[in-house]
Amino acid sequence: MLSWRVGAVKISCIVEKDEILRVHRFLKGGDQAKMDGLGWLKAPFVDEAGRLNFSVQAFVVETPRRRILVDTCMGNHKPRHGHGAMLATDFLERFEAAGFARDSIDTVLCTHLHYDHVGWNTQRVDGRWVPTFPRARYLMGREEFEHARNDTAEDHGDVFDDSVRPVFDAGLVDLVGAEHQVCDEVSLTPTPGHTLGHVSVRIISEGAEALITGDMAHHPVQMAFPAWHVKSDHDAALSEATRTRVFADAADRGVLLIGSHFYAPTAGRVVRDGEVFRFEA
Ligand SMILES: [Zn+2]
């Protein structure tokens, strides 16, 4: 299990599922020849056939006082279409074996409310969806929540009904602003585009800083080609502008960038490369 120290904070990564994707299918604008021409983009972020390695994973952020889970992957037994359908992984067993008892999580943070970030908010018990982390407050962006509640466009079944509504109905959800300060070391920062209410998670401790991206970026190749974007980006131009702004800031201030869908080693430094950027992990 990968982990990183940011001052007094420890961040651990628990992978739910790794995948291999073709760039032109996964990213609008994605061009295999252009990608192959990038000298810096190598294994493990691409495989020997030039395909993208990709991960669905969750992060546990441990401060001296708090234990915060950032995003909850796809979950088991969820009625989805495609790669997240009716999973039966050992994610939760591995999560607990890593030392993270479900009851020890005091906060669940959702960067946004897509199916691959809210799945383990709930688990199925006796045919019902119940909160997986019953002692946690679940923090969700107010704007994101209102949009997801009214959104029937997402092509993955009843995500809101099986993974968001049950924790809301249990009284565990706090709707927060896009710059919410969670605790001394952890805050949200708005990174709109993928969804309009999308946030990333900023960790600052003892002069060190990290950012957990959420889906403001999906793969390091987007540092060289910020306009390449997933089909599910709500506003492609805004997501590109957000990427360019966040990568520039990370490069200029030496922020450790932790990519929510970046394959291991997952975290690294963003470096300016002419007009764009590259990733040094
Ligand atoms: Zn995602």
Distance in Å, CA 7 to ligand 1 centroid: 27
- Number of compact structural domains in the chain: 1
Q: List residues, by chain if needed, whose CB lies under 5 Å from ion ligand 1.
A: 116, 215
Token pair in block for residue 119: 């799945």
Answer whether 192's CB lies under 8 Å from 246's CB: no
Q: Give the residue among 278, 160, 161 at the shortest CA–CA distance from 222.
A: 278
Q: What whole-number distance in Å separates Cα of residue 145 and Cα of residue 154? A: 14
Q: What whole-number distance in Å separates Cα of residue 22 and Cα of residue 263? A: 15
The region, left, alpha or beta by phi > 0 then psi within -120 to 50, assigned to residue 127 is left
Distance in Å, CA 62 to ligand 1 centroid: 22
Average pLDDT over residues 158-187: 97
Answer whether 159's CB lies under 8 Å from 124's CB: no
| Tens of pLDDT, residues 197-238 | 999 999 999 999 999 999 999 999 999 999 999 999 999 999
Distance in Å, CA 143 to ligand 1 centroid: 18
Distance in Å, CA 114 to ligand 1 centroid: 7
Q: Report pTM.
A: 0.97
Which pLDDT score is estimated for 154? Answer: 58
Range of 227's domain? Answer: 3-280
Which pLDDT score is estimated for 157? Answer: 60
Distance in Å, CA 56 to ligand 1 centroid: 7
Distance in Å, CA 161 to ligand 1 centroid: 18
Distance in Å, CA 218 to ligand 1 centroid: 7
Token pair in block for residue 39: 């000298």
Which pLDDT score is estimated for 82? Answer: 87
Share of the chain above pLDDT 90, in %: 94
Distance in Å, CA 168 to ligand 1 centroid: 21
Distance in Å, CA 169 to ligand 1 centroid: 24
CATH code of 156's domain = 3.60.15.10
Token pair in block for residue 9: 């904070």
| Tens of pLDDT, residues 25-82 | 999 999 999 999 999 999 999 999 999 999 999 999 999 999 999 999 999 999 998 8
| Tens of pLDDT, residues 239-261 | 999 999 999 999 999 999 999 99
> How would you write the chain as a 3-class SS string?
CCEEEECCEEEEEEEEEEEEECHHHHEECCCHHHHHCCCCCCCCCECCCCCEEEEEEEEEEECCCCEEEECCCCCCCCCCCHHHCCCCCCHHHHHHHCCCCHHHCCEEECCCCCHHHHHHHEEEECCEEEECCCCCEEEEEHHHHHHHHHCCCCCCCCHHHHHHHHHHHCCCEEEECCCCECCCCEEEEECCCCCCCCEEEEEEECCEEEEECHHHCCCCHHHHCCCCEECCCCCHHHHHHHHHHHHHHHHHHCCEEECCCECCCCEEEEEEECCEEEEEC
Distance in Å, CA 158 to ligand 1 centroid: 16
